[in-house]
Amino acid sequence: MKMVQTGMPAELKAFRMAAGGAGGGGGGRTYSFKVVLLGEGCVGKTSLVLRYCENKFNDKHITTLQASFLTKKLNIGGKRVNLAIWDTAGQERFHALGPIYYRDSNGAILVYDITDEDSFQKVKNWVKELRKMLGNEISLCIVGNKTDLEKERNVSVQEAEGYAESVGAKHYHTSAKLNKGIEELFLDLCKRMMETAQADERAKGNGASQSGASRRGVQIVDDEPQAAPATGGGCCSG
Ligand SMILES: Nc1nc2c(ncn2[C@@H]2O[C@H](COP(=O)(O)OP(=O)(O)OP(=O)(O)O)[C@@H](O)[C@H]2O)c(=O)[nH]1
Ligand SMILES: [Mg+2]
């Protein structure tokens, strides 16, 4: 999990090829989305991803260097969704690497620690940067993590939720430690990204020159059954 990344990892290349390929058989379609986690060091970004992808939790803080990458496959209402999740380093010295990871992202999860007011201010800085660089095309999630430490809360729920609404983001409450709110967060984000991709597709169908989806590299693979029915030999199971 704690791998140092400098370029596109082989796993991501494989992920993109699979997503852009024949669609793996079966009805429906496959959506491929890129999601990036941003936020101050020690707020629990890695813990959220580890809990979501591997249902693990580590009490120790192992600082992420640069970024690490995991994938997750979901099925939402019969539609396959492949997530490429980038967990970035929160340490300030890595801030300048941010654009490498948020560029082309369909969704961003901006994490703060509910016991740490500074980490909430850092989320506001990320929101400003993302809106400036990517506009409204990216689905933003603001996440107050460590809700198991409610007694030590230093960021008011009202303030955080009000702020999220004011910038067109959605707010979520999570505890990576207790596995609270994480499935809901990712599921909701996926649904929002699917809606955006579908709207982009409709706009494209209506003659828009270049849809947001294609600009961001969303790959929507239609895999309606072709003339010849698949008789085994498919590469993926449903
Ligand atoms: N109590 C509590 N601790 C948590 C929770 N999530 C993470 N932690 C702890 O917070 C510390 C930091 O977690 P990480 O997931 O490594 O934080 P990070 O945001 O990835 O940090 P960087 O990689 O340095 O940016 C670790 O000691 C975790 O065990 C949570 O929900 N509750
Ligand atoms: Mg980390």
Question: pTM of the prediction?
Answer: 0.82
In the chain, the percentage of residues whose pLDDT exceeds 90 is 70
How high is the pLDDT of residue 216?
55
Q: What does the pLDDT look like over 105-156, one tens digit per residue?
A: 999 999 999 999 999 999 999 999 999 999 988 999 999 999 999 999 999 9
Residue 188's Cα: distance from chain center in Å? 11
pLDDT at 85 over 60: yes
pLDDT at 236 over 90: no
The answer to whether residues 182 and 52 touch, using CB atoms and an 8 Å cutoff, is yes
Q: Which residues surround ligand 2, an ion (CB under 5 A)?
A: 45-46, 64
CA angle 193, 12, 169 (to 5 degrees): 25
- Give Cβ neighbours of residue 161 (< 8 Å, ≥ 6 apart): 171
Residue of 11, 52, 33, 75 whose CA lies nearest to 238: 75
pLDDT band at 201 (very low <50, low <70, confident <90, very high): confident
pLDDT at 165 over 90: yes
Best probe residue, ligand 1, of 4, 40, 42, 51 (max atoms within 8 Å of C-beta): 42
Shortest-distance atom of ligand 1 to CA 57? 29
pLDDT at 62 over 70: yes
What is the DSSP secondary structure assignment for residue 204, as one 8-state letter?
H
Atom 30 of ligand 1, nearest CA residue: 146
Atom 8 of ligand 1, nearest CA residue: 44
pLDDT at 21 over 50: no
Atom 16 of ligand 1, nearest CA residue: 61
